């Protein structure tokens, strides 16, 4: 099974998105999310899809309502990520065959999200839930459910998440460092992305899904 990596761009200025995405794609991460609470999110999604056609899969994040989902789909988002569990929305998107990653925290929420049709359940914020050991504990009885760790995955603990059975990770500020972007140090973004992808490959996950 593929190991999924999603890069989360939140609150980036529209002129910074393309060079930032270019940088992390060079580092091997090309499943990229633009949060819907980013100014001009719809426009950024459309522009990014056109610019990176064939090189990246552009999705929408922070999708919490049906209205958010419709806006994202109209913009052309290739996948949907949410920090919460909206069962109606998950069922709607899964029937439309759009990959959907709803957020959940407890085993009951995780199971409910999966039964509703989630492509993968985003455990968020995973650091508050207990980190990698929590993923391992949940996976013990719910081993058929695919889990995406988000909110606390770092270069230092990534190996532990992989070893605990995590099916994928989502990276926000750990990948899109605002200071680097402000200083136009896009080469450093590439190096950060490479640091994550190198660890994934070295830990027997050369099958990780770029997009």
Question: Which residues are identified as catalytic?
Answer: 33, 122
Which residue, among 183, 47, 81, 128, has the nearest Cα to 89 in the 3D structure?
Answer: 81
Residue listed under structure tokens 């109606």: 88
Number of Cα atoms under 13 Å in the Cβ half of residue 4: 24
Nearest partner of 60 among 72, 46, 76, 51, judged by Cα: 72
Q: How far apart are the first and last CA of the chain?
A: 14
Using only the alpha carbons of the chain, give its radius of gyration. Answer: 16
CB 183 within 8 A of CB 165: no
Give the residue among 205, 160, 207, 197 at the shortest CA–CA distance from 25: 197
Backbone CA torsion sign across 119, 125, 129, 132: positive
Using alpha carbons, list the distances in angstroms from residue 88 to 37, 69, 177. Answer: 21, 11, 34
Taking the CB of residue 25, how many other CB atoms lie within 10 A of it?
21
Tokens standing for residue 112: 């409910």
């Amino acid at each position: 099974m593929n190991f999924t990596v999603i890069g989360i761009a939140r609150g980036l200025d529209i002129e910074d998105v393309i060079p930032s995405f270019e940088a992390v794609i060079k580092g091997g991460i090309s499943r990229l999310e633009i949060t819907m609470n980013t100014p001009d999110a719809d426009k950024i999604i459309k522009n990014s899809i056109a610019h990176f056609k064939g090189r990246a899969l552009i999705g929408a994040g922070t999708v919490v309502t049906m209205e958010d989902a419709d806006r994202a789909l109209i913009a052309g988002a290739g996948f949907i990520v949410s920090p919460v569990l909206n069962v109606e929305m998950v069922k709607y998107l899964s029937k439309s065959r759009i990959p959907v990653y709803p957020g959940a925290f407890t085993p009951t929420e995780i199971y409910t999200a999966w039964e509703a049709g989630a492509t993968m359940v985003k455990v968020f914020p995973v650091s508050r839930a207990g980190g990698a050991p929590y993923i391992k504990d949940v996976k013990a009885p719910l081993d058929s459910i695919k889990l995406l760790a988000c909110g606390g995955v770092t270069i230092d603990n990534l190996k532990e998440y992989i070893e605990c059975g995590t099916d994928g990770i989502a990276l926000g500020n750990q990948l899109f460092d605002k200071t680097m972007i402000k200083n136009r140090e896009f080469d450093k973004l590439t190096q950060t992305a490479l640091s994550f992808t190198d660890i994934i490959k070295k830990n027997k996950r050369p099958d990780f899904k770029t997009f």
